[in-house]
Amino acid sequence: MSTAQASELAHEHEEAPRASTRVYVEIAVVLTVLTVLEIWAFYVPAVQPILIPLLMVLSGAKFALVVMFYMHLKFDHRAYTAIFGPLLTLGAFIVIALMIILAYFLGAPPTA
């Protein structure tokens, strides 16, 4: 085992945190701000036309921040990203495929 790899291994398990407490707290602040933005968007009528894309962007950003920093994908070996990424994509694919196919199949929703 080469020294480079050995140090990588060591880095992963032995060394101190991949980011400082300060970074973690900053991320938490950003997450809070993004959440507040989401709720703001929900309540402000002017934003309604773009609510769905806006929420998708905001929640996507939150999702990415947690995964990258709190779950350490940004710092860890990229094999983990290579495992999680495709599975997550397939998950999104299922949701979208089910929505499209069954929306077509079921027709317009009943008007209550």
Rounded Cα distance, 104 and 108, in Å: 8
State in angstroms the smallest separation of the CB of 1 from other proteins.
Answer: 7
99 touches other proteins by CB under 8 A? yes
Rounded Cα distance, 68 and 10, in Å: 20
Residue in 28, 46, 74, 75 binding other proteins, rule: CB under 8 A: 28
Rounded Cα distance, 111 and 88, in Å: 34
75 touches other proteins by CB under 8 A? no
- Using alpha carbons, select from 2, 7, 1, 18 the residue that is nearest to residue 80: 18
State in angstroms the smallest separation of the CB of 27 from other proteins.
Answer: 8
Interface residue list for other proteins (CB under 8 A): 1, 5, 8-9, 12-17, 21, 24-25, 27-28, 31-32, 35, 38-39, 41-43, 48, 51-52, 55-56, 58-59, 62-63, 66-67, 69-71, 77, 79-80, 83-84, 86-88, 90-95, 97-99, 101-106, 109-110, 112
